[in-house]
Structures are given as structure tokens and as C-alpha cells.
Structure 1
Amino acid sequence: MTTFDDRESAFENKFAHDEELRFKAIARRDRLVGLWAAEKLGKTGADADAYARDVVSADLKKPGDADVFEKLRADLPADVGDAEIRQQMLDLLARAVQEIETQ
């Protein structure tokens, strides 16, 4: 049973590690997409950072990405389409994962 217990513990540790990395990647993505949106809104410096923090906070309201998308959609002008927002979210998630993996 010791080998089985060791394997079970290893799987649990890997799951916990993967979930931590997933959380970090999504939080980083939210910050990056917040900075992208802030630029679209003409915000710079401290205002852009504050907006990015608001986007990160928005992600804590509901599970999944819907809350972030809804915040961005509500804040961004109509000339920024839904597809562009979703594409930025995907692209910046990939960038966030890459940044975390290279740390």
C-alpha cells in the first residue's frame, strides 16, 4: 500500500501545483487585459494600473471568464468588438502562461 499512497500523494501535489499555476496565469492575464483595455480607454500610469486591478477584482465575482468579459464590454467603446476582446483574453492568457513558465 505504500507505493499506492505515494502515487496518490504525488497526484494530489501535482494537482495542487497545477491549480496554483492556473490561478496565477489567469490573474496575470486579467492584469494584462486590464492594461490593454486601459490603453484603449486612454488611461496611463497610475490610472491604468488602477483599472487593471479593477479587472483582476472583477474576476473574483463569478467563476469563469464571463465577469471579466462583461466588465470589459461595459467599459470599452462600441468600436471594440466582442471578438477582439475575447481574442485579447486568449492571446494574453497564452502570454501569461509563458511568462509564468519562464520564471
Structure 2
Amino acid sequence: MATTFDDREKAFEAKFAHDAEMQFKAEARRNRLLGLWAAGLLGLDEAAAQDYARDVIRSDFQEAGDQDVFRKIRSDLPATVSDAEIREKMAALLAEAKSQILTELGI
């Protein structure tokens, strides 16, 4: 027989799983947007920009956290783009990605 505690525990676990999935989707979308931004700075055409964005998404699977994505972008962009500018763009695009996802979900 399920208790209120059991119900609350299941609800918490479901919310945790949902939040983790949403964060993963937002980070993947942020990485695509970041790749497209960097591709624009690199002067890539549309097809090459899409390929580059996929490479940025794949770079995120090297280690936990954002450092692998940052290193990928940093190594590809010229020194005229500062580390701070890249990190600021990453933060702004994560917020944009989350907003896009919430809008698509009608939230």
C-alpha cells in the first residue's frame, strides 16, 4: 500500500528526471547555437556552419561540465575573441535555449 511519503518520493524522482532531461536539452541546444555563432565568426557557409555546430554538440560528451565545449570554441576562434566573450555568449545562449524550449512546450 502506497503511503503519502511514497507518493511524494515518486513525484520528487519524476521531477528530478524531468529537470535533468530539460537541462540536457537546453545544453545541447545552447551548444548548437554557440556553434552557429562561432561558425559565423569563422565565415563558414550554411552547410559548413551546420557541420561545425554538430561538432560543438559532440565536443560536450568528452567530460562533464562546459569546459570541453569552451575549449573547442576557444581553439577554433581567433585570439581577437576573448575568453570572457565566449563565456558570456555561452551563458546568454543557455538562457536563450531554455526560453526557446519553454516556448515550444507552451510554458
Q: How far is the alpha carbon of 1:2 from its aligned partner?
A: 1.1
AA of the residue aligned to 1:2: T
| Residue in structure 2 matched with residue 38 of structure 1 by the alignment | 39
TM-score with structure 2 length normalisation?
Answer: 0.94
**What CA deviation, in whole Å up to 9, does each residue of 1:31-74 have, x standing for no partner?**
00000000000012110000000000000001000000001110
Aligned residue pairs, count: 103
Structure 1 unaligned spans of 5+: none
Match runs of 1:1-103 below 5 Å: 2-103=3-104
Q: Which runs of 5+ in 2 are unaligned?
A: none
User: Could you say what the CA RMSD is over the residues aligned between the two structures, in angstroms?
Assistant: 0.7
TM-score normalised by length of structure 1: 0.98
Amino acid at match of 2:3: T
* Superimposed CA distance per residue, residues 9-37 of structure 1 (whole angstroms, 9 cap, x where no aligned partner): 00000000000000000000000000000
Runs of 4+ that moved beyond 4 A: none
Report sequence identity in percent: 61
What displacement does 1:100 show?
A: 0.6
